[in-house]
Structure 1
Amino acid sequence: MLIEAQDISVAIGGRSVLKKETLRCKPGIMTALIGPSGCGKTTLLHCLGLLLPVDEGNITINGHNVTRYKTAERRRFWRDHAAFVLQDYGIMDEDTVSFNVTMQTSVLGQHVSGNKEKLAQALKQTGLEGRENELAGRLSGGEKQRLALSRAIYKDANILFVDEPTASLDAANRKMVIDLFADFANHGRTVIVSTHDSDMIKACSAQHEVGRNNLQ
């Protein structure tokens, strides 16, 4: 899915965070949102993911204006098309790996439901096969990043929004996570990454420097 932002601006607490940001994020590649700390990378990512409203400008997805989506419309977008890998992983530590992927339980709330074949395939692709019944809280930081990606693979998300995915990872896990995101994009999905990691940036086919319009 093609995501476009045209002259979007955001102010938080009376302070301008984004000013007339314009970019295109194409399917099939990873787009990096880059810039120094505090420039608004995460804010821009949240706007593109419809987590945060914009004060000015427009956001379109496949040419359809989604800027003023109401709550129900945003929820449908998140349910049907989008997945998020956030800095805190968005993982529920007290639940199992399986539940964190499928987000579904049986009627009695005791067993993970959903498509077991799809679950197994998603975990295999991210190197977590055979760990369905482990508590997510026991996973390492790199494994939690991969678990969040397993969720996106399971739901067959069209768009993946990623915030500083390699910030706390060692070299081996960093490479594995970057390669997994690249493979996800290579299957025709749109991947947008907020990052300051040079290796992550090099893996992205497109870069957008956030905050250039704020420079004097």
Structure 2
Amino acid sequence: MQLSADRVSVVIDGKAVLNSASVKAEPGRMLVLAGKSGSGKTTLLNVLGLLGRVGTGSVLVGGQDATTWNDARRRRFWRDHVAFVFQDYGLIEEASVDYNVTVGRRGLFGLRQPELDRVEQVLDHVLLSGRGKEQTARLSGGEKQRVGLARAMFRGADVVLADEPTASLDRKNRELVINFLIEEARRGATVVVATHDEDLMAAGDDLVRLGGA
């Protein structure tokens, strides 16, 4: 699913954060938005993911102008097509690892056996095999980020959006995150990452530097 922003401008609290920015993210490729803090990279990521509104310009999702989509249409887009990987993990701390991996994907009667098998498969892939029943709050920062990766992997989303996903992680966990994002792109997903991590920049297929970074 192609995402593109065409000459978008965003003003926050009276300050121009983006000024006529244009970018395109393609299926099967990782687009890296690089820049220092305040450069607008996270804002542009949010614009592409329809998490933020634009002042001027347009945002296209799969060739459709999504600039004026209402809240219900945006929520359907997130539910059906997008996986998010956030710096602050975006997890339900009091819930189990299993629950966090499958949140938003549970039916009225819970998960069927193939889905339960899939949960264990993705947890194994992120080196958390057998830990699905643990409370998420008890995990380390690196482990929580890996739960976020497992959740994105479980969804098999068309679009993966990651905001500073390697920040504050040790080398082992950083490498795991970077490899996951590469794998998602190779799977055919449209991957967009906002980062100032040089290793993650080097791993991307396309690089856009913002704010003179």
1: CA distance between counterparts of 2:191 and 2:141? 20
Deviation for aligned residue 1:65: 0.9
Deviation for aligned residue 1:113: 3.3
**TM-score, scaled to structure 2:** 0.93
Q: Counterpart amino acid of 1:141?
A: G
Deviation for aligned residue 1:204: 0.5
Residue number in structure 2 paired with 1:12: 12
Q: Is the CA contact (8 Å cut-off) linking 2:36 and 2:211 kept in structure 1? A: no
1: CA distance between counterparts of 2:63 and 2:111? 36
2: CA distance between counterparts of 1:151 and 1:107? 19
1: CA distance between counterparts of 2:118 and 2:95? 19
SS in 1 for 2:32: strand
Deviation for aligned residue 1:132: 0.8
1: CA distance between counterparts of 2:187 and 2:44? 24
The one-character-per-residue Cα deviations of 1:121-174 (angstroms, maximum 9, x if unpaired) are 221222222111011112222221111111111121110110111110111211
Q: Is the CA contact (8 Å cut-off) linking 1:58 and 1:65 kept in structure 2? A: yes
2: CA distance between counterparts of 1:161 and 1:107? 28
1: CA distance between counterparts of 2:32 and 2:76? 25
Q: Counterpart amino acid of 1:26?
A: E
Percent of paired sites with the same residue = 44
Deviation for aligned residue 1:73: 0.3
Residue number in structure 2 paired with 1:150: 150
Q: Which runs of 5+ in 1 are unaligned?
A: none
Distance 1:79 1:166, change over 3 A: same
The one-character-per-residue Cα deviations of 1:55-81 (angstroms, maximum 9, x if unpaired) are 111111221111111011000000000
Alignment of 1:108-127 (within 5 A): 113=111, 115-127=115-127
Alignment of 1:1-216 (within 5 A): 1-103=1-103, 113=111, 115-211=115-211
Count of residues in Structure 1 that have an aligned counterpart in Structure 2: 210
SS in 2 for 1:118: helix
Q: Is the CA contact (8 Å cut-off) linking 2:4 and 2:61 kept in structure 1? A: yes
1: CA distance between counterparts of 2:165 and 2:202? 14
**Alpha-carbon RMSD:** 1.8
The one-character-per-residue Cα deviations of 1:164-190 (angstroms, maximum 9, x if unpaired) are 111101112111111111111110001
Q: Is the CA contact (8 Å cut-off) linking 1:101 and 1:147 kept in structure 2? A: yes
Q: Which runs of 5+ in 2 are unaligned?
A: none
